[in-house]
Amino acid sequence: MNKRRLLFCLITVLVLVAIGACMMVIGRGHTIYFDNKSLEYEGQKYEAIRRINVNVNGEQVAKLSKKERGMATTMGQGFKFDIEVIREKDAEPERYSFDIRIPYGIDGIVVNLPGMIAELPQAAWMEEFIPAPTVEEEEDETPAEGDVMDDFGVGGDL
Amino acid sequence: MKNQTSAGKKVLGFLGSNSVPIMFIIIVAICIPLSGFSPVFLINEIITRMGRNIFLILSLLIPIMAGMGLNFGMTLGAMAGEIALIFVSDWQIWGIPGVVLACIMSIPISVLLGWMCGKILNASKGREMVTSYIISYFTNGLYQLLVLYIMGAIIPIIHNSIKLPRGYGVRQTVGLLTMRQSLDNALAIRVAGVKIPVLTFLIIALMCLLIVWFRRTKLGQDMRAVGQDMEVARDAGINVERTRIISIIISTVLAGFGMIIYLQNMGDMATYSAHSQIGMFCIAALLVGGASVDRASIGNVFLGVVLFHLMFILAPKAGGVITGDEMIGEYFRVFVSYGVITVALVMYETKKRRAKAGMAAQLEAAQREEEQQ
């Protein structure tokens, strides 16, 4: 292989690796869960709010009463959202905008909205979402012999 | 009178060389009114299926150009695409970035598998199709070993939604909901109730242009020369073996991309069976479009996808109307579609033998002439 061709190959590989790395950053998906639940931090209690509407890109993704949870999905490490807080019936809504950074390695985060509105530190209102473990039977998901070997859908040996 | 005879010969020649697509057009023309489907429904279905399948079928053109016949080994590229999609899905890369990353990740796997396939096909010249068909089975075994035992055990798989409950191996179905139709929905427009996936069609158009351009490059010309006559090409200084390997590598890489486009449209992946029939479907569609083992064009790809997939949509319904049982229509479709592959292979062999016999007769006549002199 001559030098020019080798250089061309190397540059191609580097460009592809760079594009791949960019895709890994901008395409990393996260699920954000919004909680409207009471929160205790350093001995002080932050009560759940009567009604919180969550908007992402101008579209309402959750309408939360007390003790409710909503969710939205996003790609990348930054997530912007707006909320409308209604503390009392027929009261004028208070509007807030937030821009949070999501750690790359975490699939889902839970955001406590009353804690966020109270401007507590991030550690108080953000935590990782860990799905509840589900018990599954082992054999159910293992492909049967026919599924693996038989491409013609007739079953048995071919 | 002479003009009429030559025109008649031309028409007969045209009918003879396009008998398969003409037969399918007639069947489809009969089935459309019987099925009762609305034109909007049919156009919608066909456009969706075109976006889903054309890229995969385009991957078959280059080995045909290099005289290697129908590349049943495109399944290898499909497997590479699936492996890349499993990783991308596990790493939670969503949407178009997920599709792009899967394409990039499939390249080294496709190149390796394509190189291996090309090497084996070089050792079995003249029997490329059957060899590539068997290679796809052999590689399927390796794929299953990787996916069923190595992934999760040696290669880390993080998410339980992908891993089997026993702790290693990949589930029978991998969900691709987070990238489902991400290409098809980007820039999509609706015209009279028909959804047109503009970005997917732009990618296909770019691929077609690349193939047209590639044919005119030095490598493309070499491939055509190798496809016409390997010995003459070798005498002309072309590295025949290398050219054939490159054609299979390109085909495998494109098949990997095609499989990723196909699966992002479907929205989920049957880990152990998604690739198994893909080669057969693509080859059948190409042949239905009027291609043969040694000649195929981009036009054949488009016509083939439209006719072959119209049969998929229409046959069960039309069969149901005619016989009262939709399954009979489906059996008819399977019979006709795969019958086409058989007929194409038989026709190719017959043509080859006739050409050989013709050459032998010419040689014999020349020898006789020489003896008489």
> What is the tens place of the pLDDT at every residue in A15-41?
999 999 999 999 999 999 999 999 998
How far is B114 from B240, CA to CA, in rounded Å?
16
Residue B223 domain boundaries: 34-276
3-state class (DSSP) for residue B80: helix
| B163 located within any domain | yes
B116 neighbors B245 (Cβ within 8 angstroms): no
| B345 located within any domain | no
Element (H, E) at A55: strand A51-56
How many Cβ pairs within 8 Å bridge chains A and B?
Answer: 73
Residues 148-167 of B with CB under 8 A from A: 148, 159-160, 164-166
| B146 located within any domain | yes
B97 close to A (CB below 8 A)? yes
| B298 located within any domain | no
Task: Give the pairing of strands A29-36 and A108-112.
Answer: parallel
How far is B259 from B238, CA to CA, in rounded Å?
32
Element (H, E) at B174: strand B173-175
Collect all residues with Cβ–Cβ distance below 8 Å to A111 and sequence separation of at least 6.
A32, A33, A34, A35, A100, A125, A126
Closest residue in A to B136 (Cα) is A151
Q: What is the mean pLDDT of chain B?
A: 90
Please report how many Cα atoms fall inside a 13 Å half-sphere around the Cα of residue B81, on the Cβ side: 29
The distance of A64 to chain B (nearest Cα, Å) reads: 25
A151 close to B (CB below 8 A)? yes
A151 neighbors B273 (Cβ within 8 angstroms): yes
B92 close to A (CB below 8 A)? yes
Write down the H helix ranges in chain B: 2-17, 19-35, 39-58, 61-65, 74-90, 95-122, 128-145, 182-185, 198-216, 218-228, 230-235, 240-266, 278-288, 298-323, 326-372
Give the mutation candidate from B75, B79, B90, B94 for the A interface (greatest A CB count, under 10 A).
B94
Question: pLDDT class for A154, splitting at 50, 70, 90?
Answer: very low
pLDDT for res B292: 86
B272 close to A (CB below 8 A)? yes
pLDDT tens-digit profile of B319-347?
Answer: 888 888 878 877 877 887 777 778 777 87
A142 close to B (CB below 8 A)? yes
Residue from the list A29, A136, A143 with its beta carbon closest to the beta carbon of B94: A29
pLDDT for res B3: 67
| B295 located within any domain | no
Collect all residues with Cβ–Cβ distance below 8 Å to B340 and sequence separation of at least 6.
B20, B284, B287, B288
Do A29 and B93 lie within an 8 Å CB cutoff? yes
pLDDT tens-digit profile of A94-143?
Answer: 999 999 999 999 999 999 999 999 999 999 999 999 887 776 665 555 55
pLDDT for res B11: 85
* Cα B112 from chain centroid (whole Å): 20
Please name which of B178, B150, B233, B195 lies closest in space to residue B52, comparing C-alpha atoms: B195
Question: pLDDT class for A151, splitting at 50, 70, 90?
Answer: very low
Residue from the list B93, B171, B178 with its beta carbon closest to the beta carbon of A23: B93
Structural domains of chain A, with CATH: 29-128 (2.60.40)
Do B276 and A137 lie within an 8 Å CB cutoff? no
Partners of B292 in the β-ladder:
B295
A-chain CB neighbours of B97 within 8 Å are: 22-24, 26-27, 75
Number of domains in chain B: 1
pLDDT tens-digit profile of A45-86?
Answer: 999 999 999 999 889 999 999 999 999 999 999 999 999 999
How far is A145 from B115, CA to CA, in rounded Å?
30
| B350 located within any domain | no
Low-confidence ranges of chain B (pLDDT < 50): none
A-chain CB neighbours of B95 within 8 Å are: 27, 29, 75
Question: Would you give the end-to-end CA distance of chain B in angstroms?
Answer: 40
